[in-house]
Amino acid sequence: MNKEKLLLWTLAAINFTHIVDFMILMPLGPQLMRIFEISPREFGLLVSSYTFSAGISSFLGAFILDKYDRRTILLWVFTGFLFGALACALSPNYAILLISRIISGIFGGLTSALVLSIIGDVIPDARRGRAMGLVMAAFSVASVVGVPFGLFIASISNWHAPFFFLAGLSLVILWMIFKYIPTITAHIQKKQFKPSPVQVIRRVTGNANQMRAISLTIMMMLGQFAVIPFLSPYMVANVGFTEIELTYIYIAGGLFTIFTSPWVGKLTDKYGKIKIFSIFMTLNVIPIAVITQLGQTPIPYVLLISTMFFVTSNGRMVPAAALITGTAKSENRGSFLSFNSAVQQLAAGLASFLAGLILAEGINGELVNYDIVGYFAIVLSLLCIPLARRIKVIDVGEPEIILGDPTELVAEKNP
């Protein structure tokens, strides 16, 4: 296995751990609410605390990430993430767990921007779609393996077990970062000066192309995270799923996207980011329209639609991430992507909040107005297509470090 693949597998492992850490708390809700004797509102705070702390840390990270070697700062950030997971595992009560989730979110938010920055710095534009596809397949693996395994060990032990597992896994990944992530400092050498926080903000907000990329991120998150957080409650209350049967949705969707994510990455490199994004974004509105209006429905049919939702949602993210990453040059890529990550986290939290205001509980306990949430998501999703067409990739130069086969780079330059 060459150095480039080892680097990408390391970044995918980082992404996997971060995603499992974010997702695992939601299905543990019934157990935590019973043990800590907390209300749904308090549990909601436990979930959203991670998202909002990740958003804030990503925003602050925009002022510091481009000042240091990517490898060095990733080692520090992931060490903090490891201690956050360990703090969650050792939490004796609700208050301590809440603080621990905030700590995990602070470091988890920074890992996302760093992973994308390293891909942008090291992988040439002609192979960036495939790289994004591989790293984003971590979401699929987290859905099909990470979350179900976490629930399994929690069921045979207690809610602390998944976080001990994450802490142990993070220790292994920390070693992988040390061994397989190279020193990446060309972005520092290219800088003529070190910008102040105000200059960092002005540089992003004053760049029309980057603001279009950030607007795309906001609209995608508002469209998707209005639907996703309430998918499980809707399936139980309206469609007839049991809580155990919910795992089928994550396993089926995750299993398919493990294979489709790298495939979409190859399509992105072959046919272009805008074309593949437009196709998958258009296809994505079909399962959104169906899912948000389901009544009592047989499980196989629901799994068909939910799997299409997973595949198309992931399919639009791969070219979108490659497109957004390419709007910044290496010397300010970390700052821009950290800023973008902050917006992404905060938009996801806002989407959940807005959907919660729209939804209501019926007389029989069913959720009503989910169809209105679906219409909201569809409109925003379709508006993303013309916006994406106005975004230009400006960084198509050579990577800072050639990790792949040099003959591949020659072939890319002279197809």
Quote the pLDDT of residue 50: 84
Q: What is the mean pLDDT of the chain?
A: 80
Whether residue 62 contacts residue 202, with contact meaning beta carbons closer than 8 Å, is answered with: no
State how far the Cα of 161 lies from the Cα of 282, in Å rounded to an integer.
Answer: 40
Q: pTM to 2 decimals?
A: 0.72
**pLDDT above 50: residue 407:** no
Residues 131-140, mean pLDDT to the nearest whole number: 72
Question: Going by C-beta distance under 8 Å and a sequence separation of 6 or more, which residues neighbour residue 90?
Answer: 160
Quote the pLDDT of residue 18: 85
| pLDDT tens column, 221-277 | 888 888 887 787 788 778 888 767 777 887 888 788 878 888 888 888 888 889 999
Q: Which of 223, 270, 231, 237 is nearest to 249 (CA)?
A: 231
Q: Which of 27, 30, 26 is nearest to 48 (CA)?
A: 26
